[in-house]
Structures are given as structure tokens and as C-alpha cells.
Amino acid sequence: MTDRMPQLPAELQAELAAVLAAWAQGQDPWRDFPRTVRLDDEAAAAYRGRKILVTGGGGFIGGALARVLAGLGAEVLALDKDEAGLVRLQDAARADGGQPPVLALADCRIADRMSTILAAFPPAIVFHCAAHKYLPLLESQAQEAWANNCAAVVQLGRQLGSCGTEAFVLVSTDKAVEPCSQLGASKQGAEHALQSEGAQWARRAVTVRLANVLASGGSVVERYWRAMRQGLPLEVRHPAMERYFLTLPQAVALLLAAGAGAAAGELWAPRLEAPVPIQDLAAAMQALGRGLGLPPPPEPPVQITAPRPGEKLSEQLLATAELARAQPLAAAGLPIWRLPPA
């Protein structure tokens, strides 16, 4: 490991360097985030002045999405059951300037509460970001995983049926492809539900599968950063483990492009060249850490362990059968796979 040279895509390397530098200085890496999202004028115009609901609006991706939409001139309702997350969004949005999102402290699984909210704020577009996402925890919490990641999607979609909603965007994950975990299976269940009855939820119900978003809350980057500050080795759960990564600006731009341009029943996923070996991510972070004055890595600098239940060595953005009928597309500065409905 000591002789490994990190091999990260240039955009990931730049984002990683900026995030670690901000953390080292005690700053928020996402303070100026809305200005880093690339979106063409046509897509931006699709949101201006529209009522948009973002569930999971207090989370990492939902909060970032809400801030960008507010900056585009949309009327945004950010909904989450996490009050601390909503407060963080409120503070960040105020610093952005302009009209901040309206906040709704609510659980989208509570039908009566959602009926009241939707009656007062019938959304033209919905981004459903709310989900449980911590794979190891969900392996022992299957009922909760399915209730939140699948059943809640169906319930919300059916409630939207009477709202005249134009677009419903389901935020999914590459773990939904040939899943071997409760997280992946529950998200795959939501994808299947949208394909089956999404036409009753909105005029355009679409799915966006994201890869791992770099430096998101609870991510491997956060865990490695904490270990590096303490001078500890970085845990790699298998020498061959690898993952696809997106930067936060890429993820938000992809969601916005799909919300504006995906056709009913389509699934969009980023068309990434190759997954990143986790050993290379660890090496890249340790190399950056040396330049930031962190304690030197111990010997050995990484600790090889074993995959946890439900973890794969590699993920896929499309299943083999899907890849055979996927169409390449460019949107929001990204190469995309567009999968028409079966």
C-alpha cells in the first residue's frame, strides 16, 4: 500500500482536495455550493417560479438540491423529519441570499400529515430524496428499510395523484442493481413500483440512480478523515473493493436535468468510465492529508478487513439486461445512460 499512487478521476481529485482543505480549516466545504452546479438555461427555466417539493430536504443531497432550486427562483418546500437537518438547510440557504426554501417538519409516511401539506402546497415537481441509506444498519432493520424506502414512496406517489403533479423524480442508488442488501432491495422495490404505477402519480414519473456521492454524510470519506486526524490506519474492507463516485455538484445537476427533461418512465444513471478502488481513495486522502499538516499515516497505512453483510466488492449502475437497451445521452455536463421504460 505504501507504494500505491492514487489514481482518481481529475474532477473527483479536485473535489476531494477542496473538501479536505475546508475541513482542515474548520470551514464548510459546501458554503458556496449552489454556484458550482452546471445547468443549461433550458433546464434552469423549467424550475423558475414553480412549486417544488423536496423530501429529505434536510439531508445531504436533498438540502443541496433545495438550495440550488431556491437560487433558480423556484418556490421550494423542503420536507424532513430531521429538525437539525432542516435548521442546517435554513442557515445555509440564508447565507446564499434570495428566497430560502420553506421548511416542513414532517414524516412523509404519515398520510394525514402529508395530505394537509399537499393541500396547502400542491407541487408541480417532486424530488423524493428521503430514504434510509446506511447499508450495515439496515441489514438488521429490514422492516424499517422497506417501510421507508419503498412503501413510503408508493404512498406519497398515490397521494400526489390528485395534485396534478407534473414530474416525480425518485432518487435511487446503484445498490438497487442486482441487490444483495436490504438497502438495495428496498430501493429496487421502489423503482419497480414507479415503473408499475408511476403514471398515476405524475405526468412524468422518473428514476435517477446515483453512485456514491463524495463526502456525503456518514460516507467513507468522512470516516477516513476522522481516522486520519487521529493518526489511525484507514480500513479497506477488501483489496479489490471499488465504488463509483459522483461529486455533489454532479449529482444535483443530474437530478435537475432529469427532472426537467426525462420522459415518463425513464431511468437515468451517470455513465461513468470506471469505479474507484477504495485503496486508491485511501491513498489519495493520505497524500492530501500530508499537505494539510495531519499526523503522518501509521505503518501499515491501511488495515485490510472483510466486507460487511450486504456489501459487494463492486457496484453497477445498470444491470446487464438494462445495459443492452440503454441509450447514451449528455446532460448537465455529464455523460448519461437513459433507460426507456420496459
In order along its 342 residues, the chain shows pLDDT tens digits of 445 556 789 999 999 999 999 999 999 999 988 888 988 888 899 999 999 999 999 999 999 999 999 999 999 999 999 999 999 999 999 999 889 999 999 999 999 999 999 999 999 999 999 999 999 999 999 999 999 999 999 999 999 999 999 999 999 999 999 999 999 999 999 999 999 999 999 999 999 999 999 999 889 999 999 999 999 999 999 999 999 999 999 999 999 999 999 999 999 999 998 999 999 999 999 999 999 999 999 999 999 999 999 999 999 999 999 999 999 999 888 999 999 998
Which three three-digit cell numbers place residue 291?
499537505
Torsion of CA 244, 246, 247, 248, to 10 degrees: -130
Measured over the CA atoms of residue 264, residue 124, residue 250 and residue 210, the dihedral's sign is negative
Q: Which residue, 160, 127, 108, 150, is CA-closest to 255?
A: 127
Q: Go through the domains of the chain in sequence order and give each one's CATH number.
A: 27-213+246-272+313-339 (3.40.50.720)
Per DSSP, what are the bridge partners of residue 331? Answer: 334
pLDDT score, position 1: 44
Query: pTM for the full model?
Result: 0.96
Per-residue model confidence (pLDDT) at position 6: 67
